[in-house]
Amino acid sequence: MSLFITDECINCDVCEPECPNGAISQGPEIYVIDPALCTECVGHFDTPQCVEVCPVDCIPKDPDNVETKQQLQAKYEVLMAVK
């Protein structure tokens, strides 16, 4: 399951540099997470780094993009092979 950023985002800029996959970018109004790139930091860290640093707790799991840990690991491996 990838993560997403809710409209409670305050554009504080702390999440974007923490994402090891480059999945977070500035959207039209708030930061957004590309579900094709989000692995919830599986393969990099034990916990999603954006969630760890978010001061307003606005990065929940995305119910529209449900993935198992194994699927996230496979996505990580594909992303790392492309880099």
pTM: 0.93
> pLDDT below 70 — which residues of the chain?
83
Tell which residue, 21, 26, 17, has the closest CA to residue 38: 21
How far is 29 from 24, CA to CA, in rounded Å?
13
* 55 within 8 A of 10, measured Cβ to Cβ: yes
Q: What are phi and psi of 24, to 5 degrees?
A: -105, 130
Q: Which positions ≥6 away from 32 have C-beta within 8 Å?
A: 4, 5, 24, 25, 26
The CATH code for residues 16-82 is 3.30.70.20
Q: Where are the domains of the chain?
A: 16-82
